[in-house]
Amino acid sequence: MIDYRCSACGVEGVKLWRQGGVFFDKVRPVCADCAVREERERGHLRPEFAPWDIDTRGAHMSARGETFTIGHLVPAVPTKDHTGYWGYLSIEPGCFKWWKRLPTLQAF
């Protein structure tokens, strides 16, 4: 079973993003706050992009239009049995709805 928490800060109960194209045992899911920080450091996001630029569905506007990715990270949407993650282009609609209903940011 997947431990659905941010691998960087440990937050639970929020949307997570992950690296695409890596083997399951190498997946490091991260929350929006950590994803934005890490992707800015890698140069994959403009410096002024902030976690609050991501809406409640997990989307934001990029130069190419609306996207659910953060830099090079894709939504970490678990399979129905929570033993793996859907590929970004093959996410089962019901699982994507579950992911979109999660809070985007941790409430304080």
24-83 confidence digits (pLDDT tens): 878 999 999 999 999 999 999 999 999 999 999 999 998 889 999 999 999 999 999 999
In the prediction, which pLDDT does 26 show? 86
DSSP type of residue 60: E
Structural domain boundaries of the chain?
Answer: 17-101
pTM for this predicted structure: 0.94
Rg of the chain (C-alpha set): 13
